[in-house]
Amino acid sequence: MILKNKIFIIAEIGNNHEGSLRTAKKLIYKAKLSGADAIKFQIFKPELFIHKDQIKRLKLLKKFQLNYNQFLNLKKYSKKLNIKFFASAFDLESLDFILKNTDIIKVASSENNNFIFLDKIFKKNKKCIISTGLLNFKQIDALVKKLERKYSKKVLENQLCLLHCVSSYPANDNDMNLNYIKRLKKLYKFSIGFSDHSIGIEASIIAASLGVEMIEKHFTLDNNFSNFRDHKISLNPKDFKKMVDSVRRVENMIGNDFKFLVKSELSNNNSLRRTFYASKKISKGEKLTLNNLIALRPKIKNSISLDNIYKFLNKKAKKNYKKYEPILIN
C-alpha cells in the first residue's frame, strides 16, 4: 500500500508526548533512529467527543492536547527527518484538519463504525488505515461490504488497509488470535496489517511472518516516563529498534513462493551429496550390488549418485576397481 516489498512500520506516539511539543519532537527523533517508517499522533478537541460529565477524562485529554499549529510544526520536523507524519482524528473538526494536511489517515478502533468519518476520508481519496478492534469477523465483513458498495473494490485496493487489532491495553497473549491475519489476507485484496497492543515484540514478529504489510506499535521515550498508562504498554527506543530489526530479518527470510538453489547452497552441492564407491575390490565383469558398493561424500563428476543407482545395479563392471575407488558412469 505505502512501501513496496517492505512492511510499513509505524511508531504510534499517540498522547505519549503529554502535551509537550519538545517531548513530541524528541519522540519523532527517537522513532526515526529506531527504524520507524512513520510516526502517528492523535489529534482531537476533547469537548467535541467526550461528554462534559466525564470531568476527569476531559481534564487529562485537555492537558495532553496539542493545537493545530503545533502539529504543523511536528509535520515540518518529520519531513526534515524523512519520516512519514500522519494522525488519527477523534472529532470532525480535527478530521478536516488532517484531511488538509496529510495523505494518510488512521481510523482508530473506536471510530471504525463511524461512516461520517469514513465517507469524508474516501471522498478525499486519502489512504485510510482502519483498526478492526471492537469488531467481530461478521462486523468486519459487513464494514468492508458497505465500503465496497459505496466506493468499489478497486478504490479499496488503492486506498484501504485493515489492521487486525485487539482493543485491550495491554492485549493478553491468549486474546491475540494472530491466525486471523491469514483469513483477512485470503478474504480481501487490499492491504492487511497489524496494530499491536501486546507487551513485548513477539506478536509483531509473528505478524510479519504471516505476511502483514503494516505494523503499528505504541512508542515511548521511557516506560517509566509518567503514570500515564500508555507508557507501560509502549516500546521504548531500544526495544522498538529490536522489533524493527527482527521484522526486517523476517522479511528477508520469508522470500517468495518459488524454490531455487541459492548461491551458498550450490557451493555445498558437491560436498554434501554422495558418490558410489567400491566398498571392496571389484573385478571386471563382476555385478555391481549394494554389497560391493558404498555411497560416500563427496560427489564426484560423472559418478553414480543416489538418485540413479537403480540404473546400474546388477550391471557388470567394465574394469577392475580398488576399494574406495569411485564408480564412474563412463
pTM score, two decimals? 0.90
Instruction: Please list, in sequence order, all residues whose beta carbon lies within 8 angstroms of the beta carbon of residue 266, skipping any fewer than 6 positions away.
Output: none
Residues 124-136: tens digit of each pLDDT: 999 999 999 999 9
Q: In the chain, count of helices (H) and strands (E)?
A: 12, 10
Q: How many whole angstroms separate alpha carbon 81 and alpha carbon 213? A: 23
Q: How many whole angstroms separate alpha carbon 195 and alpha carbon 133? A: 9
Residue 313 per-residue DSSP state: T
The C-alpha cell of 129 is what?
A: 488505515
* pLDDT above 70 for 2: no
The C-alpha cell of 197 is what?
A: 497492543
Task: Residue 66: count other Cβ atoms within 10 Å of its Cβ.
Answer: 20
| Residue 317 exposed, middle or buried by CB count within 10 Å (0-12, 13-18, 19+) | middle
Phi, psi of 98, rounded to the nearest 5 degrees: -65, -45
Q: How confident is the model at residue 34 (pLDDT cuts 50, 70, 90)?
A: very high
Is the separation of the CB atoms in 326 and 305 below 8 Å? no
Report, in angstroms and rounded to the nearest whole number, the Rg of the chain calculated over CA atoms: 30
Question: Which residues share a beta bridge with 328?
Answer: 303
Question: Which residues share a beta bridge with 106?
Answer: 88, 129
Average pLDDT over residues 201-227: 97
Q: How confident is the model at residue 145 (pLDDT cuts 50, 70, 90)?
A: very high
Mean pLDDT of the chain: 95
The pLDDT of residue 330 is 77
Total number of residues shown for the chain: 330
Tell me the DSSP string of 280-295: S-B-TTPBP-TTTEEE
Which residue segments constitute the domains of the chain, with CATH numbers given?
A: 8-254 (3.20.20.70), 263-311 (no CATH)
Query: Number of C-alpha atoms within 13 angstroms, CB side, residue 146?
Result: 12
Q: How many whole angstroms separate alpha carbon 215 and alpha carbon 244? A: 10
Quote the percentage of the chain above a pLDDT of 70. Answer: 99
The pLDDT of residue 1 is 55
Is the separation of the CB atoms in 225 and 196 below 8 Å? no
Of 243, 232, 180, 238, nearest in space to 211 by CA: 180
Average pLDDT over residues 287-291: 97
Q: How many whole angstroms separate alpha carbon 224 and alpha carbon 226? A: 5
Instruction: Please list, in sequence order, all residues whose beta carbon lies within 8 angstroms of the beta carbon of residue 156, skipping any fewer than 6 positions away.
Output: 144, 147, 148, 188, 190
Q: How confident is the model at residue 260 (pLDDT cuts 50, 70, 90)?
A: confident
Q: What's the start-to-end Cα distance of the chain, in Å?
A: 57
Instruction: Please list, in sequence order, all residues whose beta carbon lies within 8 angstroms of the beta carbon of residue 237, skipping any fewer than 6 positions away.
Output: 30, 31, 33, 34, 219, 221
Of 221, 201, 167, nearest in space to 13 by CA: 221
